[in-house]
Amino acid sequence: MLWAWLAMAAGLGLLYVGAEGLVRGSASLAGRLGLTPLVIGLTVVAFGTSMPELAVSVEAALNDRSAIALGNVVGSNIGNIGLILALAAMVTPLAVQAKVLRVDTPLVIAVSVLLLILVSDGHLGRIEGTALVVGVLAYVAFSLWSARRESAVVHAEFAEGVPAPSGSVGRDILFVVVGLAVLVVGARMLVQGAITVAEAAGLSDAVIGLTIVAIGTSLPELAASVVAAAKGEGDIAVGNVLGSNLFNILGILGITSLIQPLESGGVGPTDLWVMVGFAVLLAPLMRTGWRIGRWEGVMLLLLYVSYLALVISGKG
């Protein structure tokens, strides 16, 4: 049992390191290709910080642990708002100026509802996966178009928060390749450890996926958003969360279900409705002067802790 916990801890560490390397290398390469920091932040960085979720979900699906794969995404999306955005807002109130993020909020609600509908039959197949992947491609295209209409202030903010090209192209490629390799190894260790812990402790795959695995794979988003908040870069902190939630559903579940169709297992309607609820809750919070204050962060965190308690007490 101890080795399983150690494997999970090591896996989480490798996922964080791998995601950091991947984001740094890919962001630098994107900058060399002429993409603006705003576009890089909304797409490359957001997708890069979601790579742990992709690696873990694919690994779990290939091991016939669909509940871990789906629970990882659903739990991460809930945690991104209830934990990460909450902590970031508690560090400093988050002011949102980017117009594209005001559009991303209803998009997150829409894709959350879409996932609820798609999984209502307990299955997420390749047809649904194809539709989700098409959706993420459309979102990237929309982000590229929207970025051209943003103010100079927003562009300057992302320029400060997004890694600039450094070193050589070969170094960037090395970061990407090594980052991907480390992600694969970390995902394998985390999933195998989680399976062992779940079986030994009598917990379901869904509980492990919705809690420990989901929180662990969200570490890159946590680090990026809290650091951005501390620097007063509210758009980056919120953009990381919204972009990650969109990529998690459209990209991560889309790609995973294309590789291996998923069964919902113990991830039930309650979990999906909570995910939708947190997304819906963002709308009025963002509308209060397009600012998320400390007390709102505290409220989100309390709701998230209550959800975790409900999951652990009701699904063991």
**CA 112/CA 99 separation, integer angstroms:** 21
Answer for the pair 70, 265: CB distance below 8 angstroms, yes or no: yes
Cα 39 to Cα 75, 95, 161, 313, distances in angstroms: 26, 19, 12, 42
Could you give the number of structural domains in the chain? 1
Host domain of residue 52: 2-314
* Among the listed residues 20, 11, 7, 8, the one whose alpha carbon sits nearest the alpha carbon of residue 221: 20
Q: In this predicted model, what pLDDT tens digit does every residue of 125-139 receive, in sequence order?
A: 999 999 999 999 998
- Classify burial at 152, counting beta carbons within 10 Å of its beta carbon; exposed 0-12, middle 13-18, buried 19 or more: exposed
Whole-model pTM: value is: 0.87
In this structure, what are the phi and psi dihedrals at residue 290, rounded to the nearest 5 degrees? 50, 50
Q: In this predicted model, what pLDDT tens digit does every residue of 29-45 receive, in sequence order?
A: 877 877 777 777 777 77
Residue 122 DSSP symbol: S
CATH number of the domain enclosing 308:
1.20.1420.30
Q: In this predicted model, what pLDDT tens digit does every residue of 243-278 receive, in sequence order?
A: 889 999 999 999 999 999 999 888 989 999 999 999
